[in-house]
Structure 1
Amino acid sequence: MDRIDKRKSTQKIDIGIWRKLFKYLSEFKNGLIFLALLMVGVAGIDVVMPLLTKYAIDNFIVKKTIDGLPIFALVYFCVIVFQGLNVRLFIIHAGKIETHLAYHIRKIGFKRLQELSFSYYDTSSVGWLMARMTSDVTKLSEIISWGLIDMVWALVMMAGFIGVMLYNNVGLTLICMSVVPVLFLIGMYFQKKILKSYRVVRKFNSRLTADFSEEVSGAKTTKTLVREEENLKEFKLDAGKMRNSSVKAAVFSALFLPIVISMGSLGVGFVLWIGGEKIIAGDLSYGTFVMFIAYTVQFFDPINRLAGTIAELQNAQASAERIIGLIETKPDIWDSKDVIKKYGDLFHSKRENWEKIHGDIEFKDVSFTYKNGEKVFKNFNLKVNKGETIALVGETGSGKSTLVNLLCRFYEPSNGEILIDGIDYRKRSLLWLQSNIGYVLQSPHLFSGTIRDNIIYGKLNASILEIENAAKLVNAHNFISKLDKKYDTQVGEGGGNLSTGEKQLISFARAILANPALFVLDEATSSIDTETEKMIQNAIEKVLKSRTSFVVAHRLSTIVSADKILVIRNGSITESGNHRELLKKKGYYYSLYTNQLLEDKEMESKEMFS
């Protein structure tokens, strides 16, 4: 669940958080200043309009004359046109800034997600990340482009109203303002209640986002385990809590508006009462009286808007905290400044300085512990010569996948070194290493799009001939050619339109297209049928030829031709040798291989008689 949402959000506005956020939005500084100036203009005209009304009453109605009326009408018309242009410019500009802000923040966040290490994704759910990059970013862009500017409008308008009223009549102004403190306190109380309810809404919104994501990705598991009813109950529970909090917020909002109107009416009542007495006494002009009523009626709108904006800032602050938390998360693995200067970073490579990888690899006194404290390796040593195929065998959790993840620098050793061609790989760039590695997973991930799109994912400028040659090399071309649209066939989300074996072959073609110097196969044949396994085994032999490679094996029949087989148990190598040598030792590998062989024969017998 959302790690940051578990913390109690502050009720006060943290200037530090907003200062950090605006540091990333410096390119919008001029646009926001222009937007604020537009709102100052809008507020200024709002202040001027009752003054014009006052002038018209005192000079035309009271005096019963139309002298100067045409000029006044022209001025009034120009003011209205100017206000219309101001409002139009404001709406257009605010809309553009909102859109560009959301784009900019998402771009920064997405870039950071590309930079973050595997360990970050070990502890962050998909729903959490989706909520951060969608609803939180939307909330921030709205409050910055509209809310903060509303605050400028409210403050300028209130200051203008108070200034003009004080200038005309101090006593009546103080009477008019008598309800403001009470109204402001009521406003803050209600806004806090509304905010508290919306915090709960956001919390459950993140949960529902995660529920949707997991339900879609795990639809087959749900069906096979007949979990539909239980999932629906859980979803209803979360959705019900979100609905109840939303209703509570709506009730508070509905109560708040009548109270504001009532308090505003009370203020107007005071002005009518005291102002009326002053008119009778001859201490106040009709125009000034009408102006005060207009100001009093309008004054409570900016107060309401200001209270609402402050509450929205508190509301959005939780989003700002989460976005800043994501953006400022430091990768566990990064290149030093010297390495970046020579080789470039993940987004700006200096390939002209990249050394060619020959393929000699050495794990030298490597120790590794996960963040949760789980120790995997201690003083682990291994030497691999160029072009060798190393197979890794062992129980689940023994350290096989961790070993290849360390090789790929998805994680780094806690102690010790990993040398590639005699050089510590931390003295080369991440991009240099990972651009030279072909990695095929047990469950290959295909992206929505065509087969061609997925094969060229690692080399976007590949020609049609290169794509087909890669597919032929891994025995994928035959099944692709039989499809109606061949390489332009849509694979569906996650490759759902293809079988597991077909997805695996495409992932092989994708990996080989980039012509990597090193290859890693992480249990790439553990979940496919025997016939497809043979196809993939042939593909493996072609792909791994002359390349240094590591094969994490579940089905031992796929590694009998490996140059060296390592049995990994509890983070240590307990057996080492080729297939024949290990069978002669009659140890763990022998036992594992013979048991698997018997299981395969039993399965073949069942298939023959079924």
Structure 2
Amino acid sequence: MNYYEEECYSSFNIKPWLKLRRFFKPYTKKLIGLTILMFVTALMDLSIPLFQKYAVDSFIAKNTMEGLNSFIGVYAAVLITMALAVTLFIRLAIVVEMHIGMDLRKEIFEHLQNLSLSYYNTTPVGYILARTLSDTNKIGSMIAWGLVDVFWSFAYVIGAFIAMFMLNVRLTLIVGLVVPLMAVITVYFQNKILFTSRQLRKVNSKMTASFNEGITGAKTSKTLVIEDKNLMEFKKISSELELSAVNLSRINALYIPIIVFFGSVLTALVLARGGILAMDKIIQIGTLSAFLSYAVNIFEPIQQLARTFAEIISLQANIERVMDLLEKEPLIKDREDVIRVYGDNINPKRENWEEIQGEIEFKNVTFKYPDGDEEVLKNFNLHIPAGTNVAIVGETGAGKSTLVNLACRFFEPTEGEILIDGKDYRERSQLWLHSNIGYVLQTPHLFSGTIKENIRYGNLDARDEDIMEAAKIVSADAIINKFEKGYYSHVGEGGDRLSTGEKQLISIARAILANPKIFVLDEATSSVDTYTEKLIQKGIEYLLKGRTSFIIAHRLSTIKRADIILVVNNGKIIERGTNKELIAKKGHYYNLYTKQFEEERTLEVLQ
């Protein structure tokens, strides 16, 4: 799936910022403190040229040192005050940036826990990570630094014009003619720079993705002999990157000389006119020196204003993306009255939970996927007594997972109802049901950490003895003890230090520790060797005893033991019955069975 980066705003819009205000509201006092510190810093900055004027006019021009000590003391006090203000500002800004970013990430992560499975099926992981990490960092940084910089820049520009006006009105008029022109040029170029930088970042992201695919897919590329194709695509992206970088360099190369030129022109005009006024004794040399400092220094805050305002406009898209994620409603939500009794995912009220038996019944269930128009199930009925083993078979893409996803409430019926122990499962919380389900995936996921920690996820209150017992049941302990650190061995990111079979054994041990009333096996033995499959089958046999189970599998050894077999084709159940009954029908299942029997017999001969 290709997720594009949304186009950024081209003008200021207050709506995204209003959505964000609840995140910086807890830090209002700190933000006010930052603003005050910035105003203090701006005032100190504005006072420096006045000290310069006083030093020239009172000491240098008069060739005297009378009062110099007092001057140095006051000047030093101002510098120390400014240094303290800057130090406090930096410390406070870092705190605000970190806290706002952390609050955003915490709320996003908590919200992600409540989103339905369908969201993760349709949204790339990279897109979610970008919202959670990159966008939140930018927002926190802008609130802590950018917005306060705007206040400083405004304060300095206004203060500088007031100071220049008080020093000399005629010279201020000269500055007033040149500065607006420079401001317009600066705003124009900053927007161009921002737009080009954005294009550069997009192309750079494409290059990173190309690098990633080239490295992770190196083996596939070699087997398909497509190195030339990959190289051509990479060269194309490199050319785009080079073009964007050159365009950015050209804009900067044009912008900087223009600013320097106008700055030099303004300096020359102030010096020329100010020099005449000084020679005519209308103004003092110190006044000219101070005025010149203001005229030159005013360019930086103007550029800062233009740059920050452009970044604020650009950041609005980041805010919208983050808020869009936070406002994303789960496809499946518990009702308020259910939450009051059973709690939610974050604050469960387990004391009110009934013990589950595992009886499942589909009553007149009609279902279509949220993004689809075709009804996958229509008026479907199925009764599964507690403790029944149900095998679901069918070709790849037949829709085997639909029934399981409905039974597990990862999706809900469009019409009809699904009963758990005789009661519509919407009358109880999702967590109540999910806490009683053990799920072993075809490609099981392990969390970063040790083997023991991963098994313990089945029951966080389990003792070490319980963890080891669960591993022994599936004979995983023999494999675990081969590792140097045994149960304390780290599995790596996603369990990448273990083989598929080893991960499946640990995931089954985890399911055993959870002791679920409903068990789902999703083709867990379809990608492992025969020896590992035997170990897995041993664990599965243990799990199936006395539990309602759904088995999505291709292996006959697993299917034949089921109490009922459902044959799925094009999202519909076309046959149902026991292994013996379905073979006798000589229908779709019979053909699948015969084909699978021949494949497994051939495999046994080869082995």
**Alignment of structure 1 residues 556-575 onto 2, 5 Å:** 556-575=556-575
Pairing 1:120–2:122 present: no
Once the two structures are TM-superposed, the CA of residue 215 in structure 1 deviates from its matched residue by: 5.8
Query: What residue in structure 2 maps to residue 237 of structure 1?
Result: 236
Once the two structures are TM-superposed, the CA of residue 294 in structure 1 deviates from its matched residue by: 1.0
**Alignment of structure 1 residues 127-146 onto 2, 5 Å:** 127-146=126-145
**Alignment of structure 1 residues 146-185 onto 2, 5 Å:** 146-185=145-184
Query: What residue in structure 1 maps to residue 513 of structure 2?
Result: 513
Distance 1:342 1:256 in 2: 65
Once the two structures are TM-superposed, the CA of residue 73 in structure 1 deviates from its matched residue by: 1.6
User: Do the aligned partners of 2:23 and 2:100 also contact (CA within 8 Å) in 1?
Assistant: no
* Distance of aligned partners of 1:216 and 1:561 in 2 relative to their CA distance in 1, 3 Å threshold: farther
Pairing 1:55–2:60 present: no
Once the two structures are TM-superposed, the CA of residue 38 in structure 1 deviates from its matched residue by: 0.9
Query: What residue in structure 1 maps to residue 552 of structure 2?
Result: 552
1:492-528 deviations in Å (ceiling 9; x for gaps): 3333333322221111111221111111111112222
User: Do the aligned partners of 1:128 and 1:206 also contact (CA within 8 Å) in 2?
Assistant: no
* Distance of aligned partners of 1:167 and 1:110 in 2 relative to their CA distance in 1, 3 Å threshold: same
Query: What residue in structure 2 maps to residue 591 of structure 1?
Result: 591
Query: What residue in structure 2 maps to residue 533 of structure 1?
Result: 533
User: Do the aligned partners of 1:388 and 1:549 also contact (CA within 8 Å) in 2?
Assistant: yes
Once the two structures are TM-superposed, the CA of residue 448 in structure 1 deviates from its matched residue by: 3.0
Distance 2:90 2:442 in 1: 52
Residue identity matched to 1:373 = G
**Alignment of structure 1 residues 177-576 onto 2, 5 Å:** 177-208=176-207, 210-211=209-210, 221-222=220-221, 224-227=223-226, 230-373=229-372, 375=374, 376-576=376-576
* Distance of aligned partners of 1:506 and 1:226 in 2 relative to their CA distance in 1, 3 Å threshold: farther
SS in 2 for 1:25: helix
Query: What residue in structure 2 maps to residue 83 of structure 1?
Result: 82
Distance 2:424 2:204 in 1: 46
* Distance of aligned partners of 1:439 and 1:220 in 2 relative to their CA distance in 1, 3 Å threshold: farther
Q: Which moved more, 1:540-549 or 1:395-404?
A: 395-404
Distance 1:231 1:108 in 2: 40
Distance 2:338 2:208 in 1: 40
Q: Which moved more, 1:142-151 or 1:246-255?
A: 246-255
Distance 1:408 1:226 in 2: 43
TM-score if structure 2 supplies the norm length? Answer: 0.94
* Distance of aligned partners of 1:217 and 1:180 in 2 relative to their CA distance in 1, 3 Å threshold: same
User: Do the aligned partners of 2:446 and 2:454 also contact (CA within 8 Å) in 1?
Assistant: yes
Residue identity matched to 1:584 = A
Q: Which moved more, 1:358-367 or 1:111-120?
A: 111-120
Once the two structures are TM-superposed, the CA of residue 576 in structure 1 deviates from its matched residue by: 1.7
SS in 2 for 1:565: strand
Segments of 5+ residues of structure 1 without an aligned counterpart are none
Residue identity matched to 1:380 = F
Once the two structures are TM-superposed, the CA of residue 545 in structure 1 deviates from its matched residue by: 0.8
* Distance of aligned partners of 1:112 and 1:235 in 2 relative to their CA distance in 1, 3 Å threshold: farther
SS in 1 for 2:484: coil
Once the two structures are TM-superposed, the CA of residue 273 in structure 1 deviates from its matched residue by: 1.8
* Distance of aligned partners of 1:598 and 1:378 in 2 relative to their CA distance in 1, 3 Å threshold: same
SS in 1 for 2:567: strand
1:518-555 deviations in Å (ceiling 9; x for gaps): 11111112222333323222221111111111111222
User: Do the aligned partners of 1:42 and 1:83 also contact (CA within 8 Å) in 2?
Assistant: yes
* Distance of aligned partners of 1:223 and 1:387 in 2 relative to their CA distance in 1, 3 Å threshold: farther
User: Do the aligned partners of 1:4 and 1:322 also contact (CA within 8 Å) in 2?
Assistant: no
Residue identity matched to 1:390 = V
Once the two structures are TM-superposed, the CA of residue 331 in structure 1 deviates from its matched residue by: 1.7
* Distance of aligned partners of 1:147 and 1:424 in 2 relative to their CA distance in 1, 3 Å threshold: same
Once the two structures are TM-superposed, the CA of residue 234 in structure 1 deviates from its matched residue by: 3.4
Query: What residue in structure 1 maps to residue 41 of structure 2?
Result: 42
Distance 2:423 2:215 in 1: 45
Once the two structures are TM-superposed, the CA of residue 205 in structure 1 deviates from its matched residue by: 4.1
Once the two structures are TM-superposed, the CA of residue 282 in structure 1 deviates from its matched residue by: 3.2
Aligned residues: 606
Distance 2:460 2:249 in 1: 51
Once the two structures are TM-superposed, the CA of residue 169 in structure 1 deviates from its matched residue by: 2.6
Distance 2:217 2:370 in 1: 27
User: Do the aligned partners of 2:402 and 2:571 also contact (CA within 8 Å) in 1?
Assistant: no
Segments of 5+ residues of structure 2 without an aligned counterpart are none
Q: Which moved more, 1:329-338 or 1:199-208?
A: 199-208
Once the two structures are TM-superposed, the CA of residue 423 in structure 1 deviates from its matched residue by: 1.9
Q: Which moved more, 1:34-43 or 1:130-139?
A: 130-139
TM-score if structure 1 supplies the norm length? Answer: 0.93
